[in-house]
Amino acid sequence: MRQVAQVGCGYWGPNLLRNLVSIPDCRVKWVVETAPDRAHYVTANFKESKVTDNLEDVLSDPAVSAVVVATPAATHKEIVLKALNAGKHVLVEKPLALNVPDAEEILLAAKKNGLVLMAGHTFLFNAAVGYLAEVLKWDQLGKLFYIYAQRLNLGRVRADVNAWWNLAPHDVSILLHLLGGEEPEKVNAVGMEYIQPGVEDVVFATLTWPNKVIANIQVSWLDPNKVRRMTFVGSQKMAEFDDVADNKITIFDHGVDKIRLGGEMDFDDKTFFQLKHRKGDVVSPFIEMKEPLRAELEHFLDCIENGKTPLTDAKHALSVVRVMSAVEKSYKNGGVTVELADHR
């Protein structure tokens, strides 16, 4: 029986706890929660788990091999380092940290202690994102031109992090994964605070890769509609990932073709051509969906048992933080271009 502990059971914590207790041969021995109402929630609904407000109860328990951290992002560094230095494997909710030095310190601690460190970038365990990865791997869109992502809602406005750090780690993680782990060459962004001083409610960010692929990410928690959409435009086809739609993936056989003028005669001047719009089939493939969070947690436990490298390992999590921090530097300084090579 694998015994784990969970630290934090606030907004997202109940989803983690529900999935953890449903995994065969997994027991959530401890839940650390300092808020009395949340502690009562755990006691009332998860009777096999002990509730404590003291992290040391978990760290000193030799039966606990792994810790799942679901606390505010600003607390991640302290909690994760304590867990790693106590010999516990760690799955920490996104983002790994709120700056690059903290993320690097966490990575080094995991490496030094020989432990599994995984970040909760749940969308990489979404079957629709997996399908998109195969589409791009086999160049089914042709040469990838650009991507734009929108993560919008009139939703929960937070004070501990802004809309960028709350929402964009999902899209940054997906982009890094789908583009082979390569970080963008440069970023620039603008953001604006409307509700609370110093807390950006909306951010528009542009990421540019060396191969001329560009991606625009728009995040806001002040929008009238819930939008969770990414669009990929290639030279041959286009694809859309809509996480709130019934059909998550749509492939458009649309594009612009170059047609040579004059036919195929040997004496034709091949430098002259006309542009012709092409509209073909629109396909929404059937994708069997499994709850991504359950898949993520099972993957974490499998990596511990079998010595595997997590899909969202410390290296991936650090890259996400590097991109996130570079964008933050841009919008905090009036939209200046930030080179990733200078942001290490």
Residue whose pair of structure tokens reads 């435009």 in the numeric block: 233
Residue 268: predicted pLDDT: 56
CA–CA distance, 165 with 156 (Å, rounded to integer): 13
CA distances from 261 to 172, 272, 274 (A): 42, 6, 7
Give the rounded distance of the alpha carbon of 58 from its chain centre: 28
Structure confidence by residue, pLDDT tens digits, 27-52: 999 999 999 999 999 999 999 999 99
Sorted by where each begins, the domain ranges of the chain are 2-120, 124-291+323-342
pLDDT reading at 271 higher than 70: no
Residue whose pair of structure tokens reads 């090579």 in the numeric block: 341
Structure confidence by residue, pLDDT tens digits, 211-224: 999 999 999 999 99
Fold of 2-120: Rossmann fold (3.40.50)
Give the architecture (CATH level 2) of 124-291+323-342: 2-Layer Sandwich (3.30)
pLDDT reading at 260 higher than 90: no
Tokens read off for 296: 């993520």
- Dihedral sign, Cα of residue 98, residue 102, residue 108, residue 111: negative
Structure confidence by residue, pLDDT tens digits, 50-94: 999 999 999 999 999 999 999 999 999 999 999 999 999 999 999
Structure confidence by residue, pLDDT tens digits, 132-178: 999 999 999 999 999 999 999 998 899 889 999 999 999 999 999 99
Contact 157, 303 (CB under 8 A): no
